[in-house]
Structure 1
Amino acid sequence: MDSFLAIKTDTPYAVIGDIHGCVKEFEKLVNTIRKEYGSECLIISAGDTVDRGDYNIRTLELCMTLYEEGNFLEVQSNHNHKLVRWLKGGKVKISYGMQKTVDEFNKLSESERLELTERYLNYYSKCPLYIVINNRTVVAHAGIKDNMIGKVDKKVKSFVLYGETTGRITEEGFPERIDWTVSRNIQPDSPKIVYGHVVFKEPYINNLCYGIDTGCVLGNKLTAYLPEEDRFIFQKAEKTYFTFK
């Protein structure tokens, strides 16, 4: 749904960075969080759950199962948005990372493929563009600027899904991104903004913005952040699943 979700909760909540088909690390991290904070702990995925990794369908299925069980939410993201367009028959450019997801789908029987497609499209249609928790934390895949919070127009959606880039490519093979956190003007009531999308070796913290995509699929680690406790929990990658070179 192209709307944002505002929730209030007294229970702990944790935000998990980009999973990219690393289902083993994802499952272990969820279990660690639930063991420590209980099954009522709300877990929020910052999106990009598919592509590049080895277990994309299993990751989708786990996200949907957790959502159906309760206490799990996911925000919209560029990789998942592209998958939805492909599942709907849209014309998309399939990169090597996405090809791994497509290959998994194509290995399914026709009935399995149709069933999973219907289930996932229904699930993703319920994913909000971003989530505001207790007016103290905002979770958005690529981040969000303060003047965008509470809005859902095309400009906001583009920023939330893709962020801002210069159009150049870095030596590591990533799009050169503009660090929107640098110009943020913090106020006494400014919320924390937790996001993924941009890969860091360690969580990137700047002006109450927390970048938590720590490149699990690249062989580093999967990160969860608990804003109320100001605490990180990490799950080391079992291997390097993907490289850009």
Structure 2
Amino acid sequence: MEKYDVIGDIHGCYEEMNDLLNELGYIQDGTQLSHPDDRIAVFLGDLTDRGPFSVKVARDVSRWVKQNNALYCPGNHCDKLYRYLIGRNVMIKNGLETTVEELKHLSSNEFKRVSDSFIELYEQAPLYLQLDEDRLVVTHAGIRPDMIGKVSRQVKTFVLYGDITGETHEDGRPVRKDWASNYSFDSFITYGHTPVKKPRLIGETINIDTGCIFGGRLTAFRWPDKTLFSVPSKQPYIKEKFQSFD
């Protein structure tokens, strides 16, 4: 059985990412990332935006994936950054402004290197990852059972944003259905996107976005062990950013 460590939404929290990799036993040797037990780090999207070191996170994860040291699938913030970098007209808000500000301080050569590597990372990434003979599915915001193995515009919207209704809350956040409680899965689904105070295990699904960027923790789910590792955030705690399902 293959061995993976799925890491939740980083959002530019570079120091916490390295703390968690160290906690998991990974070794960084120059540009290489390895594990003595042949484990593979898996990043489920939203590498950037809001946090202090988005460029460093994007740079390292792009490098590790290109060197086959790690795996990755994109999140909605990754999708928006990609569209910005290829020149699409996107609104620079909801966190993207912090990454853009970092990019503006790079030299033209360094900007090109970071931009090219992230564009390559995004364009070569699957919408979601089917691992260990489909025993494990890693997706940013979730997936329905009937979508596994398929690629379409509808699948892309679901894996990037969750089961959105088209409505919004008063603060502008999209209204999402609690898909994890509505479906049964043959695969184990690991996802993030919606910050929760502690990992949320529902049936064969687990949400590991424990809100590092909002002062919570950065969490990893270890497969096939089904164990959790986490490190504390260095960011200010913002209680109202965490979703409650009570």
TM-score (norm 1): 0.88
C-alpha separation in 2, matches of 1:20 and 1:131: 20
Offset from partner CA, 1:87-113 (integer Å, 9 cap, x none)? 011000111411000000111122221
- SS of the counterpart of 1:197? coil
Does 2:173 correspond to 1:177? no
What is residue 168 of structure 1 aligned with on the other side?
168
- SS of the counterpart of 1:198? coil
In structure 2, runs of 5+ residues without a counterpart are 28-34, 242-246
What is residue 116 of structure 2 aligned with on the other side?
118
Identity over aligned pairs, percent: 35
- SS of the counterpart of 1:82? helix
For the structure 1 residues 150 and 71, does the alpha-carbon distance in structure 2 shift closer, same or farther, using more than 3 Å as the test?
same
Offset from partner CA, 1:182-211 (integer Å, 9 cap, x none)? 11135xxx1110001111000011121101
What is residue 159 of structure 1 aligned with on the other side?
158
- Quick one: which amino acid aligns to residue 199 of structure 1? P
Residue 144 of structure 1: CA displacement?
0.6
C-alpha separation in 1, matches of 2:22 and 2:206: 22
What is residue 8 of structure 2 aligned with on the other side?
17
What is residue 227 of structure 2 aligned with on the other side?
231
Determine if contact 2:7/2:42 at 8 Å carries over to the other structure.
yes
Does 2:25 correspond to 1:26? no
- SS of the counterpart of 1:233? strand
What is residue 146 of structure 1 aligned with on the other side?
145
Offset from partner CA, 1:61-117 (integer Å, 9 cap, x none)? 110232244330110211011001000110001114110000001111222212221
What is residue 63 of structure 1 aligned with on the other side?
61
- SS of the counterpart of 1:125? helix
Determine if contact 1:204/1:212 at 8 Å carries over to the other structure.
yes
- Quick one: which amino acid aligns to residue 84 of structure 1? Y
Q: What is the correspondence of 1:66-215 to structure 2 with a 5 Å cutoff?
A: 66-134=64-132, 135-166=134-165, 167-169=167-169, 174-186=173-185, 190-215=186-211
Determine if contact 1:192/1:227 at 8 Å carries over to the other structure.
no
- Quick one: which amino acid aligns to residue 40 of structure 2? L
Offset from partner CA, 1:10-36 (integer Å, 9 cap, x none)? 342110100000010101111221359
Q: After the TM superposition, which of the residue ranges 118-127 and 222-231 deviates more from structure 2?
A: 118-127
C-alpha separation in 2, matches of 1:221 and 1:59: 17
C-alpha separation in 1, matches of 2:122 and 2:24: 24
C-alpha separation in 1, matches of 2:122 and 2:168: 31
Residue 165 of structure 1: CA displacement?
2.6
Offset from partner CA, 1:131-158 (integer Å, 9 cap, x none)? 1112211001111111000100111111
C-alpha separation in 2, matches of 1:99 and 1:163: 23
Residue 175 of structure 1: CA displacement?
3.1
Residue 41 of structure 1: CA displacement?
0.7
Residue 232 of structure 1: CA displacement?
0.3
Q: Choose between structure 1 and 2 for higher RCO, CA contacts under 8 A separated by at least 6 residues.
A: 1
Determine if contact 2:184/2:204 at 8 Å carries over to the other structure.
no
Aligned residues: 232
Residue 244 of structure 1: CA displacement?
7.8
- Quick one: which amino acid aligns to residue 23 of structure 2? T
Give me the CA root mean square deviation: 2.1
- SS of the counterpart of 1:43? strand
- SS of the counterpart of 1:52? coil
For the structure 1 residues 176 and 71, does the alpha-carbon distance in structure 2 shift closer, same or farther, using more than 3 Å as the test?
same
Residue 170 of structure 1: CA displacement?
6.2
Determine if contact 1:78/1:161 at 8 Å carries over to the other structure.
yes
